[in-house]
């Protein structure tokens, strides 16, 4: 893969042990041979990044971290580009992840939760004022230093936009993601609210094995407070976990909240560094063309995004097979259509594979093999449920009760094509829908 070995080095940094691993990167401790200090290095395999078209995301992460200089945000020192690697040399935060502390203590006392939440909001406010939106805030991305102070890390999903500009993609971890078509600020605030609930409760407000049910709970803000929450805590969380981004509390509202205002003082930031200076890049064994790819991060100018729904984590996929979460065979599809339009496409897909359709209720249909008289044909029975997450976005869950798996997959392929606007051969709009008795 081209990753640096534990005994290797790059630039003035000598690598030590590995401290973490992601999909496209490894994290190593390293010693600065000039100062003797310890740093953390995110070692990204260049070949893997290029093969998966992720260079833009790497540049985005570098650009975002370059803009930020705050005591509650992990600092980036420099970027080293070689022929096979991109190394992000960062501040080493030795206290581990906030999620590790939560797993040991289950939940925090009010004073400590208030401290961490204050530091989180202070850091997020700083990011937003510089046009940086994290988009993946969760305890795994919040580190603790030796003094117990919080540090926001991992800007791999961050976005840089101008104030008020909507983002063009939706991402994040399912339990922490906001429900709405969003701007980055509102999405980050929602995630902060989920984190606050988890700090005080010891568990997440939204949990479900089914992604469909999970997103339904999130979109309706369906959660229950444990008995030990105080009225002030409940009031603040309810203002943050508001499904409507228009009515949701802004960061300025959080700063004015009575529970939020404690003895903790805002962090002092170094605003002398406005991000305009170039990151030093060391090219110990690189070609100039390789180094220039990272240098382009300083010139990054994201194109304006279009209005998009966060639930298109599912809906932007032609189909998302989540059958591994269930015992029975299930497949989920995203639909950028109204509920009725989606039901019509299910009807056409059913005709394409010789299935009859019965409406069980306003959002669920039963599909059955229309050739049952032919004994040699297996009895195929499917159920399809359409879940409306917005007026023009739905999730379709198709489950197979009995019958031939090949026929089930054939129906799923037909439905996937129809939902993505592809014309199916033999499709018709005159199939009669049978009403359930």
**Token duo for residue 69:** 């200089």
- 136 is annotated as an active-site residue: yes
DSSP structure class, residue 264:
P
Beta carbons of 195 and 117 less than 8 angstroms apart: yes
> What would the two tokens of residue 391 be?
């007026």
Closest CA to 377 of 410, 334, 335, 328: 410
In DSSP terms, 85 is beta-bridged to: 45
- Count CB neighbours of 365 within 10 A: 23
Query: Between the CA of residue 178 and those of 27, 43, 127, 260, 311, what are the distances in Å?
Result: 29, 30, 18, 21, 9
Rounded to an integer, what is the distance from CA 435 to the centroid of its chain? 40
Q: Which of 45, 122, 125, 136 is catalytic?
A: 136
Strand order in the sheet with 381-390: 329-335, 393-402, 381-390, 364-369, 355-359, 434-435
Q: How many residues does the chain have?
A: 437
For the annotated catalytic residues, the residue numbers are 136
């Amino acid at each position: 893969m081209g990753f640096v070995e534990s005994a290797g080095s790059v630039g003035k940094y000598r690598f030590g042990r590995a401290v973490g691993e992601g999909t496209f990167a490894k994290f190593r401790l390293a010693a600065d041979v000039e100062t003797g200090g310890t740093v953390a290095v995110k070692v990204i395999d260049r070949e893997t990044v290029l093969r998966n078209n992720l260079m833009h995301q790497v540049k985005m992460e570098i650009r975002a971290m370059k803009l930020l200089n705050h005591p509650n945000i992990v600092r980036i020192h420099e970027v080293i580009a070689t022929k096979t690697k991109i190394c992000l040399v960062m501040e080493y935060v030795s206290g581990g992840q906030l999620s590790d502390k939560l797993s040991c203590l289950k939940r925090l006392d009010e004073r400590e939760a208030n401290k961490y939440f204050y530091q989180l909001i202070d850091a997020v406010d700083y990011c937003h004022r510089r046009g940086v939106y994290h988009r993946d805030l969760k305890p795994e991305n919040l580190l603790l230093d030796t003094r117990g102070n919080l540090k926001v890390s991992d800007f791999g999903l961050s976005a840089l936009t101008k104030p008020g500009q909507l983002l063009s993609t939706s991402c994040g971890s399912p339990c922490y993601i906001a429900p709405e078509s969003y701007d980055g600020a509102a999405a980050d605030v929602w995630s902060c609210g989920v984190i606050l609930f988890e700090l005080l409760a010891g568990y997440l407000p939204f949990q479900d094995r089914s992604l469909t049910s999970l997103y339904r709970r999130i979109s309706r803000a369906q959660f229950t407070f444990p008995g030990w929450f105080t009225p002030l805590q409940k009031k603040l969380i309810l203002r943050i976990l508001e499904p409507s981004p228009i009515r949701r509390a802004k960061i300025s509202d959080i700063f004015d909240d009575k529970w939020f205002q404690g003895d903790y003082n805002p962090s002092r930031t170094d605003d002398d560094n406005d991000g305009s200076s170039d990151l030093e890049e060391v090219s110990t064994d690189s070609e100039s063309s390789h180094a220039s790819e990272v240098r382009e991060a300083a010139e990054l100018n994201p194109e304006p995004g279009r209005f998009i729904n966060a639930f298109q984590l599912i809906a932007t996929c032609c189909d998302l097979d989540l059958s591994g979460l269930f015992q029975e065979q299930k497949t989920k599809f995203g639909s950028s259509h109204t509920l009725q339009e989606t039901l019509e496409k299910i009807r056409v897909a059913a005709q394409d594979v010789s299935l009859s359709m019965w409406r069980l209720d306003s959002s669920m249909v039963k599909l059955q093999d229309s050739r049952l008289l032919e004994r040699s044909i297996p009895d195929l029975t499917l159920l399809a449920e359409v879940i409306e997450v917005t007026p023009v976005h739905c999730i379709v869950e198709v489950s197979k009760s009995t019958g031939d798996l090949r026929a089930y997959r054939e129906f799923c392929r037909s439905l996937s094509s129809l939902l993505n606007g592809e014309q199916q051969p033999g499709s018709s709009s005159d199939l009669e829908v049978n009403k359930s008795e």
